[in-house]
Amino acid sequence: MTLNPWRLRLLADLATYGTVRAVAQRGSLSPSAVSQQLATLERETRTTLLERTGRRVRLTAAGVLLAGRAREILALMDAAEAELRGLADEPAGTVTLAAFQSAVHTLAEPAVTRLAALHPDVTVVLHELEPHDSMPALRRGDVDVIITTTDFAGAELDPSIDLVPIATDEIVLVLPPEHPLAAHESVPVQACADQRWTFEAAGAYMSELATRLCREAGFEPMVVCRFNNYMLALGHVEKGRSITLLPSLAVDPRYRVTTRPLNPPVTRRIIAATRRPPTPRPEITAVLTALRS
């Protein structure tokens, strides 16, 4: 019996994502191609790995066992490749980096630019992912490095994850030009109880934080719109239609808005996170160094 690493990866992905369609989308394949490869893996192992129920499949006990071993095998192969790359003088390879919206332009892209000048053989594939999505993606192995914040539910310490501090970012109140609250050096959230608000989509990091701050101040915010794009939120505020809370990194100076710190101040801790590898990967170390600088 000779196990094919590519087919093992498809089986491990099926255990993680649950459907053949999801595995196909992740690997840029057709569902029929994935099904054919998994059927070939069954013939190669002479074992029933999948149970078919209607249009769906699920792993048998043997499939679950092999998927677990597949992850171990693939991790060892990745470690071996990293050790070989480590013998070279220069880091090389591809690193997938995910960052939340306001960190893409302010932190991730400058780091990628610095990295390209220092280590041209390292390729960074950049994705936008908010904190509540990026940490699960990191744990699944979808990405190699994330820029996130520890100040949200789901970011609890995990011994398999390394955290690298990057920066501290202040949460600010964003107001239309010449808004009455702009006359204050800082603004308590309680002073905004009668205001119309723009929030992120429900469940997103800033939506959860802003809702919590308003409720702790004793009121339920009047949310008139929700945007997943900070530029849309800033445009809405600029027109005088609402106010919002944003990380200072997200406030684009091209918009005519006024910002004021909160009283008491609210900050978030920005970190980079990676899975703790059995063997250090020089290309990931290079990315982390560029982010820290």
Q: DSSP characters for 176-194?
A: -TT-GGGGSSSB-GGGGTT
- Mean pLDDT score of the chain: 89
Which one has a higher pLDDT value, 152 or 236?
Answer: 236
Lowest-pLDDT choice from 10-19, 32-41, 74-83, 183-192: 74-83
Distance of alpha carbon 131 from alpha carbon 148, whole angstroms: 5
In this predicted structure, the answer to whether residue 88 has a pLDDT above a threshold of 70 is no
Biggest alpha carbon distance in the chain?
75
Residue 203 has a pLDDT of 83
pLDDT of residue 136 exceeding 70: yes
Q: Which residues pair with 58 in a beta bridge?
A: 51
Checking if the pLDDT of 153 tops 50, the result is no
Spatial contact of 255 and 235, defined as CB atoms under 8 Å apart: yes
Structure-token match 């390209």, residue found: 116
Phi-psi region of 54 (alpha: psi -120 to 50; beta: other; left: phi over 0): left
pLDDT grade, residue 59 (50/70/90)? Answer: very high
Q: Is residue 101 scored above 90 in pLDDT?
A: no
Predicted confidence (pLDDT) at residue 155 exceeds the cutoff of 60: no
pLDDT band at 205 (very low <50, low <70, confident <90, very high): confident
Instruction: Give phi and psi for 152, each to the nearest 5.
Output: -155, 155
Peptide bond just before 264 cis, omega within 30 deg: yes
pLDDT above 90 covers what percent of the chain?
Answer: 58
pLDDT bin (cut points 50, 70, 90) of residue 89 is low
Residue 154: predicted pLDDT? 52
Tell me the mean pLDDT in the region 271-277. 90
